[in-house]
Amino acid sequence: SHVTIYRWIEKYTNLMQKYLEQIIPQVSDTWRADEIWIKINGNKKYLFAMMDDETRYLIAQEVADTKHTHDVRNLFVKSREVARKKPMTIITDGLHSYKEGYMREYWTQHYPRTQHIHFASIKGSHNNNKMERMNGEIRDREKVMRGLKKHNTPILTGYQIFHNYIRPHEGLEGKTPADACGIKIEGNNKWITLIQNASKA
C-alpha cells in the first residue's frame, strides 16, 4: 500500500541521511539562498534552502511557517556545519531575513569578510536562476504528490539526497553535485549503493 511505501521512504531516507552527514562536501566559496512556497497538509509554508553556486550541491534546507518573519540563522548555521566553513560570497534576494541572518552569522569586523549580494533576481548580472531551477524541481515533485503531509516529511530529505547524489545535471556536464564535490558513489543503482554503505556505517 502507499502507507508501506511511505514507511520504506522514511526508513531508508533516515538511514542515508545519518550516513551522509558524516561526509564533508567540497563546495565552493559562493553560496546561494532562496525560498519557495509549498503546501503542507493543505497549508501554505515556505522551504528555505542553501545551495553551492559552483557544484549546485544542496547544502541545507528547512521548512518555515512564514516568509518575511522567518529567522534564517538556523539555515546559515546548519550550512556552515555541513560544509565545515562559511562562504566568501552569499547571494540572496532582497528578503530582510537574509540580511539579518548574514549580519548575525557570517559578517565579521575582520578580513576576509563574507560578501552579501542581496538583490538577486531572475534577470540581471546577479540573477538567482540556478536556485530557481532547483525550486522548479521541487515544485514538480510537490505537484505529483499533491502537496506534502507534515513539516518533517522524509520526502524533502529524500529529494535533497536525490538532487545531490543521484540526479545528473546538464549544467555539470552530466555529473551529480556530489561528483562535483569530490564524492563518488559507485554502482549502476546509486540508491542501493547509498543504502548499503549506510547500513554498514
Cell of 188: 549502476
C-alpha dist (Å) from residue 122 to 32, 80, 114, 117, 130: 13, 26, 23, 14, 9
pTM of the model: 0.89
Q: What is the pLDDT along the chain (201 residues), one digit of tens a residue?
A: 888 988 999 999 999 999 999 999 999 999 999 999 888 888 899 999 999 999 999 999 999 999 999 999 999 999 999 999 999 999 998 899 999 999 999 999 888 899 999 875 555 555 667 777 777 777 776 666 666 777 778 889 999 999 999 999 988 999 999 999 999 999 999 999 999 999 987
Three-class secondary structure assignment of 123-147: CCCCECHHHHHHHHHHHHHHHHHCC
